[in-house]
Chain A
Amino acid sequence: MKRYLCILAFATSAVAVALLASGPKSLAAGAPQAAAATVEVKIDNFSFGPAELKVSAGTTVTWINRDDIPHTVVSTPDPKVFKSKVLDTDEKFSFTFSKPGTYPYFCSIHPKMTGKVIVQ
């Protein structure tokens, strides 16, 4: 029993060390989505959904066009942080946000379509 407890204690502390080593962000609960591999933004009806997306640094955001008309995903300020080719129906564009910040973007074909990615 003692040995078993010993191993358990060691395993637990090993896991704890591993968690601590990966940084506090992944331990944060509730706030921005945990560093998931990919988060999706759906483009449909001339709008981005969600229009405002909060993610943590290192997340890859994938836009997928479900509309029956082509769209693009272009970061608003110059110089452009990201700029997709034209996306026809069911085509995708991905970008990995490594640096925290606010990234407004729009569709360069239909500029009234705007969105924002907030990276924390």
Chain B
Amino acid sequence: MSKKAVNDEILHDHNNDGIDRRGFLKCMAWAGTGAFCVIKGGVLNSYSLSKLSEIGPSEAAGELSFVQISDSHMGFNKPANPDVVGTLKAAIDKVNGLATPPQFMLHTGDISHLSKPEEFDTVDQILKGSVAKDVFFVPGEHDLLNDDGKQYLERYGKGTKGAGWYSFDKKGVHFIGLVNVLNLKAGGLGTLGHEQLEWMEDDVKHLKSSTPIVVFAHIPLWSVYPEWGWGTEDSAQALAYLKKFGSVTVLNGHIHQTMQKVEGKVTFHTAASTAFPQPAPGKADSPGPMKVPADQLRGILGITDVNYVRGQHALAVVDSNLG
């Protein structure tokens, strides 16, 4: 990655909403290497993560701060990472070391590797060490094995509907947790299903269009790489219900690498795993665990820090690695 200028002023404001798409995309592309983008007063400011301590909490914080972690795969023990406990603990250490303490965490699924009770127990135990005590989960396909999600719901389903979908509000931001990993059809992609889509339409119907929306689900809600099942077959319907909103952030996991896409007022983002990386789309025969030299592993695992500044459109989404 080449070095870029620290401050980018708005050059092209096509939508008259104070956001320079090209500048934002440039900034998002740096995010994987630890850049921090804050949109304040319509101006996109970017700082490298190492300079974060010089910025000061008020400038970086905004109104709402939370962290997304994903794909902890507790129970995985193959060469790609024989110590998923250690890397999850390192992720929590990273969370605890953030300049702005997050108010809560989202876990976008594949909490466990084989849906074993002790795997869920271990993750719960490690997450207790986070400064952010509240964790909001959505399941991955590895969390619903053998019992179609019955155990998952017993553990994390309080207040949720159906297979575990729900919504909640924090500081005026509306969060929607979706489940797209149940009832997968042969040859198919992730699926939300009719019942969940109807619930979602109803859930957002009465919200003001100025309400910032955060949607989180395991499998990407945009078509990252259908050949590997990296997409959701009926996500277009879900996104149609969110058309009226001025700011929509979609946070996903499943692919074990960070990826971003901006489409109009919707920003899509996938998180790294805390357990093991997977190859970039099409760069291997299959999307399985990718072995890297031991000293490089923690550089490809990571957490995602999200900040919202009231009055600004997009949330600032920043990835940082563990090593």
Contact = CB atoms under 8 A, between A and B. Distances in A.
* Physical interaction between A and B: yes
Interface of A: 45-47, 67-70, 72, 76, 85-86, 88-89, 104-106, 108-112, 114
> What 7 A-B pairs have minimum CB-CB distances, sorted nearest first?
A106-B186, A46-B286, A111-B184, A86-B145, A68-B78, A76-B186, A112-B229
A67 B78 CA distance: 10
B71 interface: no
5 contacts: A45-B285, A45-B288, A70-B114, A111-B186, A112-B187
B113 A70 contact: yes
B288 A109 contact: no
Contacts of B287: 46
B114 A69 contact: no
Secondary structure of the B side of the interface? Answer: loop
Given A104-B186, A111-B188, A112-B228, 4 more contacts: A46-B287, A68-B79, A106-B187, A112-B229
Task: Specify which of B79, B185, B288, B289 lies most central, judged by the most chain A CB atoms within 10 Å of its CB.
Answer: B288
Contacts of A111: 184-189, 229
B114 A86 contact: yes
B142 interface: yes
B288 A69 contact: yes
Interface in B276-298: 285-289
A76 B184 CA distance: 10
Secondary structure of the A side of the interface? Answer: loop
Contacts, number: 56
B184 A108 contact: yes
A110 B189 CA distance: 9
A89 B289 CA distance: 13
B20 interface: no
Contacts of A67: 288
A88 B187 CA distance: 21
Contact of B288 (A46, A104, A106, A114): A46
A114 B229 CA distance: 12
A69 B289 contact: yes
A110 B228 CA distance: 8
B146 interface: yes
B305 interface: no
A46 B279 CA distance: 13
Contacts of A105: 186
A112 B141 CA distance: 13
Contact of B227 (A72, A104, A112, A114): A112
Nearest to B79: A68
A109 B141 contact: yes
Contacts of B78: 68, 89
B288 A68 contact: yes
Contacts of A106: 186-187
A93 to B, nearest CB: 12
Contacts of B142: 70, 109
Interface string B121-159: 000000000000000000001100110000000000000
Contacts of A68: 78-80, 288-289
B122 to A, nearest CB: 17
Nearest to A84: B146
Nearest to B284: A45
Contacts of B267: none
A15 B58 CA distance: 93
